[in-house]
Amino acid sequence: MRAVGRLGGLAVGGSAVLFLTAQPLNRLAAQESFPTHPPAPARLRPVQFPPFHDVALPNGMTLLLVENHEQPSLTVSLSFRAGTAYDPAGKEGLSDIVSELLTKGTPTRDADQIAAAIEGVGGSLSASSGNDFLTISTDVLSDHADLAFALLGDAARRATFPDKELELARTRALSRLEVELSQPEAVASRAFQKEIYGRHPYGRATSAASFKAITRDDVVKFASQRLRPAGALLVVAGDITLPQARELADSAFGGGGGTWRGTPPATPAQPSVPTKRRTDILLVDRPGSAQSNIVMGNTTFPPTDTGYYAARIASHVLGGGTDSRLFLILREQKSWTYGSYAVLRRNRGIGNWEATFQGRTEVTDSALAEMLHQIDRIRAQTIPDSELNAAKGFLVGSFPLTIETPRQIAAVVTTARLLGLPPDYLQRYRQRLAAVSGTRARAAAQRVFRRDALTIVVVGDAKSLYDKLKAIAPVRLVDVSGNPEDPAQLNPVVSLAPVVFDRNQIVSRSDSFQVLAQGNALGSRVLKVDVTPDSIVYTQVTSIGAGLQQRSTVVVNADLSMRRSDQTSTIQTQQTETHLAYANGRVKGTSMSPQQNGTPKSVSVDTTVTAATIDDNALSVFLPALPLETGKMFNLSVFSSGDGVTKSVSVKVGAIENVAVPAGTFPAYRLELSGMQLPIVMHVTEQAPRRVVRIAPTGAPLIFELVK
């Protein structure tokens, strides 16, 4: 008979019960309790790197081999001085495009064939561009080393840069840029880099215009000039011997008398970074934002500066991890953020350090003041031994985890060599960190954290933040595109008179939009306007993937007052309906909105509205009819059909921009809407009759673009 028992309300049987009954309860209770003190740390042991081989190839390349025969795997990377710092002015993003196209076609294989060849052996092939270097790398099992070298050699020497692949790469880059510019942390980072580096290439950033300006001739010229063997670094790590690596390198890269030779052009003199005279704040206005992002810091020193080790310890104590001061105070004590950090960055040229914070708008000024206080503290006081030893213990102890695999070894060796660090840098890294004293760390903090010359960037709702921040430091105000703004316009005096719409801008038409999510087509929206002598009927049908189907119909009277609004939606499995009637200064009906619990929320609506109130589903009809002019601000009374309440929506008219959408390129007003659930940027054509050509909710990955 099979033994059956019950443990914690769950039936158990067989060997599980036999095991439980074999352990008397008194013996379980007598077991030793969990230790109350951690074990003493073991003595620091030297890092055991695999053998290094450093070989100069005849064509000017350097072959750096790190043998590791523990696993039958291999990583090969080839790096050139061809990063974003070498992009021509006005064509920022060129090196990124080049790196993406290197693996998209050669004379013997197209993009699909290259992918099939490397994936067919379980490997990978990719290329990327950083500030200073462009790197092509591959990972394979060591049995397929010949294929890895062959593909790498083809990519570096014989990439064909097909026109089709260039346009796909450009489209992907523009889509990534759209997503990036919708994220406040990315906006803050871009603004910070520009502030601390100025006209230096490290301070430049990609834009839609720069990506669109790149031609195939630019790509070919950049690759032919910058991807040259002289000075290039070939790092091979894994299960391979020096004779094998040398033979494969000679075959792939012409090192043994082949035809691939040449030296890249000399690096032109770069503009110097700005000299900061005082600490100030650049406030990037993101109207209606519920959170703010802070980035602060300054430039530091070249990568070979011997003060790096003490500065690394100081930056870790300030904000290097979950046991750092910024994290413990701003998150654990104050509950102002999910995390606040500080990092020390190295470039081939001058590096920088930065501290970051993201949190609620209402605590932004307090968080900034606390961050500055912690910088003052680490500069003025010697770091206690407890914090110093914890920081050194983490950095020293975690270093071996970064060199466990051939890919990791190749990465750290490549970085060290490309930054021009001494030959013994990796072997002595831990010892040099461990030797940093509290006094040296304090001196490094005083040198690196320039308290009287900090650059501080804050991205958030300027209307809520400006007055609070200027009590901390001088504030300069810009919009998300970097254009200066007048602080006096944060709270403009808006006429209480109703907005007079231009009825001639509302004409019968049908417009089709594509819906993009992170650059990928995800759905469609069709807008139709029918104008009759006594009414305007506006219909909107939206389909986004399999999760959202929605149809809205709004009827507007001839005098542009609201008459009816009806909407049906299917969102996931929830079906909702909203039916509202506007008459005699009131709106009545029912409104439903989806909820996370799966049951739609129904609201009975019966409230007063002004004659000028607009149903939110009709904004696409009314916005083109505003008396648009750059610099104007409008306040609209908008009834939110989903919430059943009236909201004040601000419409700020920006400069006219050339907006490229599938339907063409249009000079269009930039309208920034705030006061709704999410801020929205809409573009409305300058030419009459005006029409909406683009809709981009800020902070959401969706973009609506006019197709026809």
**What's the whole-number mean pLDDT along residues 114-133?**
96
Per-chain mean pLDDT for the chain: 89
- pLDDT tens digit sequence for 254-301: 754 457 899 999 888 889 999 999 999 999 998 878 899 999 999 999
Predicted pLDDT at 24: 44
pLDDT in tens, 74-120: 999 999 999 999 999 999 999 999 999 999 999 999 999 999 999 99
Using the predicted structure, report yes or no on whether residue 377 has a pLDDT greater than 60. Answer: yes
Q: How buried is residue 534: exposed, middle or buried, by Cβ count under 10 Å (0-12/13-18/19+)? A: exposed
Confidence check: pLDDT of 415 > 70? yes
Q: Taking the model in full, what pTM does it have?
A: 0.74
Question: What pLDDT is attached to residue 383?
Answer: 97
Helices (H), 361-520: 364-380, 385-398, 406-418, 425-434, 438-448, 462-470
Nearest to 208 by CA among 679, 680, 676, 670: 670
Phi/psi region, residue 540 (left: phi>0; alpha: psi -120 to 50; beta: rest), is beta
What CATH topology corresponds to 52-253?
A: Cytochrome Bc1 Complex; Chain A, domain 1 (3.30.830)
Burial of 39 (0-12, 13-18, 19+ CB in 10 A): exposed
Averaged over 337-356, what is the pLDDT?
96
pLDDT band at residue 72, thresholds of 50, 70 and 90? very high
> What pLDDT shows up at residue 179?
82
pLDDT at 516 over 50: yes
Count the neighbouring beta carbons within 10 Å of the beta carbon of residue 369: 13
pLDDT of residue 50: 67
Task: Annotate 328-375 with three-state secondary structure.
Answer: HHHHHHCCCEEEEEEEEECCCCCCEEEEEEEEEHHHHHHHHHHHHHHH
Mean pLDDT of 174-181: 86
For residue 126, pLDDT beyond 60:
yes
Determine which of 128-142, 512-526, 660-674 has the lowest per-residue pLDDT on average. 512-526
Mean pLDDT, to the nearest integer, of 216-233? 96
pLDDT tens-digit map of 586-603: 999 998 777 666 677 788
With H, G, I as helix, E, B as strand and everything else as coil, classify residue 115.
helix
In the predicted model, is pLDDT for residue 655 greater than 50? Answer: yes
Q: Which pLDDT tens digit goes with each residue over 427-437?
A: 899 999 999 99
Q: Domains of the chain: which residue ranges? A: 52-253, 280-403+421-490, 503-563+612-706
What is the amino acid identity at position 563?
R
Higher pLDDT, 44 or 343: 343
pLDDT score recorded for residue 30: 46
The tens digit of pLDDT for each residue in 457-497 reads: 999 999 999 999 999 999 999 988 888 988 987 876 554 55
Q: At residue 23, does pLDDT exceed 50?
A: no
Least confident of 18-32, 173-187, 502-516, 584-598: 18-32
Q: Does domain 503-563+612-706 have CATH number 2.50.20?
A: yes
Q: Percentage of the chain surpassing pLDDT 70?
A: 92
For the stretch 444-457, pLDDT in tens is 999 999 999 999 99
Q: Is residue 236 over pLDDT 90?
A: yes
Residue 109: closest CA among 119, 96, 95: 119
The CATH fold of domain 280-403+421-490? Cytochrome Bc1 Complex; Chain A, domain 1 (3.30.830)
Whether 3 shows a pLDDT value over 50: the answer reads no
Q: Which residues contact 41 (CB under 8 A, 6 or more apart)?
A: 393
Whether 52-253 and 280-403+421-490 share one fold: the answer is: yes
Pair 79, 418: CB distance under 8 Å: yes
